[in-house]
Amino acid sequence: MKNKGSKVKLDDIDRRILRDLQADGRMTNVELARRAGISAPPCLRRVRVLEESGLIRGYHAELEPKTLGFNVTVFAQVGLDSQAETDLEAFEDLVRQWPQVRECYMLAGEADFILKIVAEDWDAYQRFLTTQLTTAPHVSHVKSALTIRESKHEAGVPL
């Protein structure tokens, strides 16, 4: 068994297991094993090794935002007035507290971060923007891009 962070040598069966689980995390071990061409017990052992190594980070249900009342998705490019590591980490810690921020990436280039934010409507996003995001310590500017539609949504990585 490998520890998190250590390299795991993947064979074709492991890649097949990862591809199938990425497409359907609710797939039974029996079905997963059948697709991988192995029996269920070794398949389960392989999945556990993949989980323990950190290659499989977790399982979740994919929800439909609009059905749940989140009609607006915005990508916000955020610039900070300080790139000191403590200030970058403090911003990341703050972002983790905001449930409407679904993804956050630190960038190289003009902006320091890009955030994927969901909101009920444009007014709700503007309230978040003016009361939380732009008032956060060291935030110097925010450039918002309202999405029109989602053209592609693929979870994970291409295996």
Extents of the domains making up the chain: 12-52, 66-146
Q: What is the pLDDT along the chain (159 residues), one digit of tens a residue?
A: 344 555 789 999 999 999 999 999 999 999 999 999 999 999 999 999 999 999 999 999 999 999 999 999 999 999 999 999 999 999 999 999 999 999 999 999 999 999 999 999 999 999 999 999 999 999 999 999 999 999 999 989 999
Topology agreement, domain 12-52 and domain 66-146 = no
CATH 1.10.260.40 fits 66-146, yes or no: no
Q: Which CATH number fits domain 12-52: 1.10.10.10, 3.30.200.20, 3.20.20.80, 3.30.470.20?
A: 1.10.10.10
C-alpha 93/C-alpha 116 separation (Å) is 16
Using CB atoms within 10 Å of the CB of residue 34, give its burial: 0 to 12 exposed, 13 to 18 middle, 19+ buried: middle
CA–CA separation, 157 and 78 (whole Å): 26
Beta bridge partners of 74: 117, 146
Instruction: Confirm whether pTM is higher than 0.85.
Output: yes
